[in-house]
Chains A and B, each alone.
Chain A
């Protein structure tokens, strides 16, 4: 889950890393008050969970509180990349001598976190790594042995930084490394980390991403930041259809019928499991089909849940038919899914044979499942029909119907 900049700054500050004086405002009047308190030139920054703020006009400089208020009013009304801002951050405009980059990410191949540091801050680190590799320091660190400051120092020194700057930056990078592990981050970035005219270092911008799986054990931090449990903070905000999908999955604790994602096609998909759904979604598109949604069934959901998911998809505007398909199942029962999707059709007043373009779920309890499908005249396929072939048949049927 992603954090807004104003939250990321709090996380950084809690770890003992100094930040430039700032405040968060949701109204232009508040922004004015903060600017007055800061006393001096300020930067007004849109608080959105997307990049490209600067280009979009979401960052503006103000010399006076009046100007800060005016900019805040504009920015609060400015949509960036489909997102309305949560508020604005009123930041003091600091006198920067040099900009640095400090970051920590996971290296999935080494299976360890890696610290990154550059004396070319303020720009995208991937760009720097490509154009000036000698200006990027890197160092992996253990998550079972204690972290020691020299590990941060080595990385900074590798970029050629020395003297007071090295001494000042070392504890900051070390604290960032520790907070990355302690707070279950997947990205902890300070960019720029600014060296001011007086030689002190402050974080001028910060970007933090926390692992979703760690939310239960980071409850205290999330509560301190005021992040509600209902906030998913995904790359794209959930649509009403997707929120209804979550409600279906929450009907009971048996199995999964979730991760519903909305698309705008006419073929509804009731598909599973993880890898199977990815394969089938691709397969439908490869055969020229137009999916209305993505979803994942798994772990043997109840009839009620399977029916709930099928109903949701069947009722989506523009959906002509549904395709019920999975890779071979060993845990989820074929007969239960069959019962669920037939129940959904009947309860909505549809003929299952007409609404279900194809049912291709081989595996556990398939004989029982296929018997039920046969009784209702639904076209079904066993494992001798490949996932791609099943998808092709579904697309062909919907083509004929349209």
Chain B
């Protein structure tokens, strides 16, 4: 099992004729069982093909050609055109939009997210690398070419959620090396406003019987770690969570942004120190180094299994 996508998920790539999108399409087609990329959209390029995927002028044409609703879209359009592309996807019935594009103003993101909410759609990103279900399917550039992705990701029971695309792979690779596979890894994006933060994905992992633990990569800036801590406390989650916090040095440098647009210390709540405290209060272990994570995860899973065993007995 997995969250958000599986082997049968159909999706399109908007902006498919761009250099990065062409590579991404190849990667998705090659990985696992091969993603069902049923079309691509670039205005004015109808009739072309990208690695055998037909290109259309509009999402409506892609849906019509497919002859059934399309589930997802990976949006790679440039920042000035992203909002329009996402609204087009949502209004054409697409329920899962992965936005790869970075440097989109917050006002645009807010509009996309609000419309998605009204239409029952879900946005991952922007400024993210997408979603991967190890050995099955990937939607987005996550993990890179199929051969590289196969090196880092392996199937298993750990859900990974990360504000950094590259660190999603680094942490999953560390888990894989220690014999811990991943159920689904989600790169949620590094911006100040994103479609899905940790707490919004937790119910999906919670409902996935295969997932036994969560590993998250976090950064200074924003309230989403505090929100996760509140969610965990309020929902008595069955899933142990292990976190890694990067950018601790930023606490000394208020008002400066490093790494991602969303990382900026504007108030006390934004600091790494404060976030670590919030996470710890909710029982979330914050590892000092990434290499410590697998051992902590194993201990936590064993402890839960032991507690569950005693409860049954």
Contacts and interface: CB of A to CB of B under 8 A. Distances in A.
A294 B79 CA distance: 26
Interface residues of A, number: 55
A195 interface: no
A388 interface: yes
Interface stretch (B10-18, B41-49, B101-109, B235-243): B101-109
Contact of B227 (A109, A275, A389): A109
Interface string A141-185: 011100000000000000000000000000000000000010010
B281 interface: no
A275 B164 contact: yes
A105 to B, nearest CB: 9
Interface stretch (B55-63, B68-76, B169-177, B303-311): B169-177
A363 to B, nearest CB: 6
B290 A388 contact: yes
B177 A384 contact: yes
Given A106-B106, A111-B114, A387 B170 contact: yes
A235 B252 CA distance: 13
A79 interface: no
B283 interface: no
B95 interface: no
A85 B247 CA distance: 31
Given A213-B104, A330-B169, A278 B80 contact: no
Contacts of B192: 106, 108
Contacts of A294: 258
B278 interface: no
Interface string A347-371: 0000000000000001110000000
B258 A275 contact: no
Given A275-B166, A275-B260, A296-B259, A214 B105 contact: yes
Contact of A388 (B149, B224, B253, B291): B291
Contacts of A331: 141, 144
B212 interface: no
A363 B246 CA distance: 21
B282 interface: no
B263 interface: yes
B209 interface: no
Given A274-B260, A330-B143, A285 B246 contact: no
Contact of A211 (B80, B105, B145, B219): B105
A274 B110 contact: no
Nearest to B187: A275
A327 B110 contact: no
Contacts of A236: 253, 255-256
Contacts of A186: 106
A179 to B, nearest CB: 12
A235 B115 contact: no
Contact of A235 (B103, B244, B254): B254
B201 interface: no
B110 A112 contact: yes
Given A282-B249, A364-B144, 5 more contacts: A111-B113, A286-B288, A328-B166, A363-B148, A387-B290
25 contacts: A109-B223, A109-B227, A111-B110, A126-B267, A144-B114, A184-B106, A213-B79, A214-B107, A235-B254, A235-B255, A274-B260, A275-B190, A276-B170, A277-B258, A278-B164, A278-B258, A279-B244, A281-B249, A327-B166, A328-B169, A330-B145, A330-B169, A363-B144, A387-B170, A388-B291
Interface of A: 106, 108-109, 111-113, 126, 142-144, 181, 184, 186, 211-214, 216-217, 234-236, 259, 261, 272-279, 281-283, 285-286, 294, 296, 298, 326-331, 362-364, 383-384, 386-389
- Which 9 pairs from chain A and chain B are nearest by CB? A330-B144, A275-B164, A235-B255, A278-B247, A275-B167, A278-B246, A327-B170, A274-B259, A386-B291
